[in-house]
């Protein structure tokens, strides 16, 4: 894939995830891998109207972040994990510019335990 096309795809994916509702949907689908969820289940989990969820799911689908499979009258949505991994790899490709390991503070990494000491006034 040429660099311009790849960049356009990455921008579309990031734009799709920029919506708080779409980000919640996407995170929910990642948590439900590999089974995914029906659109009605997604709406129920998020306390949103079904038609609004459908709009957001289409946006995520166009950005290739989710897939949809029809099962009878229902649509099952799944996160596109290979695409997610490629997006993360693209974003971290030049992390720390090869000079040190990239670490992100979060629940999986220990916090720094020492903190600067405050000086008391004389």
With 0.85 as the threshold, say if the pTM is over it: no
The Cα 28–Cα 5 span in angstroms is 28
Does 116 fall in a domain? no
Chain position carrying tokens 């949809």 = 68
Q: What kind and span of H or E run contains 42?
A: helix 39-46
**Structural domain of residue 28, as residue ranges?**
3-94
Q: What is the CATH number of the domain that holds 84?
A: 1.10.10.10
- 21 contacts 46 by C-beta, under 8 angstroms: yes
pLDDT tens digit sequence for 8-20: 999 999 999 999 9
pLDDT tens digit sequence for 72-98: 999 999 999 999 999 988 888 877 665
Domain count, the chain: 1
């Amino acid at each position: 894939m040429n660099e311009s096309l790849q960049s356009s795809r990455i921008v579309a994916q990031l734009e799709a995830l920029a919506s708080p509702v779409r980000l919640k949907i996407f995170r929910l689908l990642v948590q439900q891998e590999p089974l995914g969820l029906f659109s009605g289940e997604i709406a129920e989990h998020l306390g949103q109207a079904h038609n609004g969820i459908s709009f957001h799911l289409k946006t995520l689908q166009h950005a290739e972040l989710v897939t949809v499979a029809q099962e009878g009258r229902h649509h099952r949505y799944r996160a596109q994990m290979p695409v997610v991994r490629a997006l993360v790899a693209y974003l971290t490709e030049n992390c720390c510019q090869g000079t040190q390991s990239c670490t992100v503070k979060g629940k999986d990494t220990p916090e720094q335990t020492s903190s600067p000491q405050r000086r008391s006034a004389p």
